[in-house]
Structure 1
């Protein structure tokens, strides 16, 4: 197996054992590594953190095949199945992998905030050398992570995934939505740096926030950089981790052609970023990113069957008809857009009850009700 920098190589496999949740059972995180350890840029890609969101797993399977034939200039860490706990949660013939069955904890929330401990350790040590500061911050964050004592299998899995990605320059966490177009979530300071990724993937929306609430995986890796920059305003601290949650359409869009298309798009992005050797054409133009607190949730006001009147990708004006909710025994209620923007998700199960979110619109104007946790659960 060839693994020298600048040469094509097969993946090196690594297994991380999780603590036993019950006698006689063990679970592992399987890791595929490409390139030279310690080479830059380093990229971490994972899929299936919400274990019932399947398209990303197939995409990384296809990407691994492409990388095995490529010349890797940096280092790539691939975790095609990031959540073996959730992948084992079979309930009445269905996979339920968004939350842990035992605690109802969302698998993509609750990651450690390493900024406070890292900041305490670095007080008075950061200066005007950005590269030196990046190295020092990564070291302090690694120490803070190692000092944590996981109390459960889930905590250990979160800690292991953070450990794999903590020193990465780029992190892509692949998800999928109920019924959706490709869209991205990332930190406000990371835009427009992520615009080429959005263009390559053909994203219909890019949602920006410094703090979205709940400390999801991508924010646990990117957020400390701007938190520490605020804490130490005289130090040169760049946003050194481009972390993005990539929503690859709908949960059920498991399709060979789409997986090949998405894997090729990610490979082009990696080539352009100097992680994989080669030349990549300029990316297609990206959509304009919009604030996450301007994203309108389309909320059902009544119970009944949802009949969508606006297709995914529709450019809506405020007041436009999004859907009708039909009570089979009674009235039909119109549901209208509360803001102008792109309808980028709908709910795959067309039944509503009061308060249910049946769609999302990427708007440009901050909405007064969008405070607190912005992602939902």
Structure 2
């Protein structure tokens, strides 16, 4: 059996405190393919916790039967810092309270130029040799990353566990949503089977969002080097962010269903031995991220939706309304939410009390929207 659990201690932020990242390892270290999973980087997004718990159970059985062929690393709780931000029973785990604040899934260290500097005189005509060379350079650069704070230490460790993986799967969720994923344009075909297994009909196709998120950071080195060396540098890592429906979509049924989908994907990629799943990806559709309409609240108040998650909408259609509670005339206090694109209404905030100007709903559109700017496609 190859199953092992490692606990990685983060730098102590305050006297008497200590947080750990626990990583579950299956297979022999260095075996290929390697797949990395994590959940809860946004510490208020919890469905992935139970999904990976159930996936570990499936993999323990597979390990006992000698079915693990590659290497699998699972960090089921990726952000103990955010989970500790408990404020009277509410866990605001999207943004850090300390260490400069900010979104936990933004502004990760970018290593592309540093790795390029290390390897530029050693690149060969053999692609696989170059992959080995690049992975070694990545490891060397990772050791140099600072860990002077708890958050720096957490980011450094998560990257050390993930950056040499062939596939990186980061599990998140939205407020209320159907299953969907954010996928780099280059990996649409590669991850289409995974989306099909998860019954995700919506994929948001990314290219340089400007967020420096975890999933982008894992592939940014390869994207940077491919711009210099083209086919001499293949994709050494591919990553995506899976949004496991909404915050409250947590159940044994969902967890087992999603864990089985991830397990089947491992079989498909020959990381685990087994009968390959039959894939029907006919309902998986990719929508450009710069075609996604972020519907904003036209005033502060209570939002009421007229369209359900997963429904098709048309540009100009009213998908809901916000009631301004401070209007003198209640007969004219409702302000419509208007879709600005044709597409699928796939996500919305869970709160029904909304703030003027905030993005409260998402529509996956099919054509570029002029007001969406490449390189600034995410709002925190």
Determine helix, strand or coil for the equivalent of 2:220.
helix
The separation in 2 between residues aligned to 1:80 and 1:113, in whole angstroms, is 24
Does the 8 Å CA contact 2:201/2:285 hold for their aligned counterparts? no
From 153, 156, 159, give the equivalent of 1:159.
Answer: 156
Query: What does 1:49-60 align with in structure 2 at a 5 Å threshold?
Result: 49-60=41-52
| Partner residue in 1 for 2:224 | 227
The separation in 1 between residues aligned to 2:43 and 2:13, in whole angstroms, is 18
The separation in 2 between residues aligned to 1:105 and 1:352, in whole angstroms, is 21
Determine helix, strand or coil for the equivalent of 2:285.
coil
| Partner residue in 2 for 1:264 | 260
Determine helix, strand or coil for the equivalent of 2:157.
helix
Deviations 1:256-308 (A, max 9, x none): 11000000010111100101100122222142212111111011112221110
Query: What does 1:88-107 align with in structure 2 at a 5 Å threshold?
Result: 88-102=84-98, 103-107=100-104
The separation in 2 between residues aligned to 1:289 and 1:239, in whole angstroms, is 21
1:359 aligns with 2:356: no
Q: TM-score, normalised by structure 2?
A: 0.94
| Partner residue in 2 for 1:17 | 9
Deviation of 1:18 after TM superposition, in Å, equals 0.6
The separation in 2 between residues aligned to 1:207 and 1:143, in whole angstroms, is 33
From 350, 353, 359, give the equivalent of 2:352.
Answer: 350
Q: Which runs of 5+ in 1 are unaligned?
A: 4-10
Query: What does 1:244-283 align with in structure 2 at a 5 Å threshold?
Result: 244-283=240-279
The separation in 1 between residues aligned to 2:222 and 2:278, in whole angstroms, is 28
Does the 8 Å CA contact 2:38/2:75 hold for their aligned counterparts? yes
Q: Count residues in correspondence.
A: 368
The separation in 2 between residues aligned to 1:19 and 1:302, in whole angstroms, is 43
1:76 aligns with 2:72: yes
1:304 aligns with 2:301: yes
The separation in 2 between residues aligned to 1:182 and 1:162, in whole angstroms, is 26
Deviations 1:105-152 (A, max 9, x none): 211112111101001111132233111111111111111111122231
Deviation of 1:45 after TM superposition, in Å, equals 0.5
The separation in 2 between residues aligned to 1:172 and 1:353, in whole angstroms, is 32
Q: TM-score, normalised by structure 1?
A: 0.95
1:46 aligns with 2:42: no
Determine helix, strand or coil for the equivalent of 1:333.
strand
The separation in 2 between residues aligned to 1:133 and 1:210, in whole angstroms, is 24
The separation in 2 between residues aligned to 1:242 and 1:160, in whole angstroms, is 19
The separation in 2 between residues aligned to 1:97 and 1:326, in whole angstroms, is 28
| Partner residue in 2 for 1:171 | 168
Q: Which runs of 5+ in 2 are unaligned?
A: none
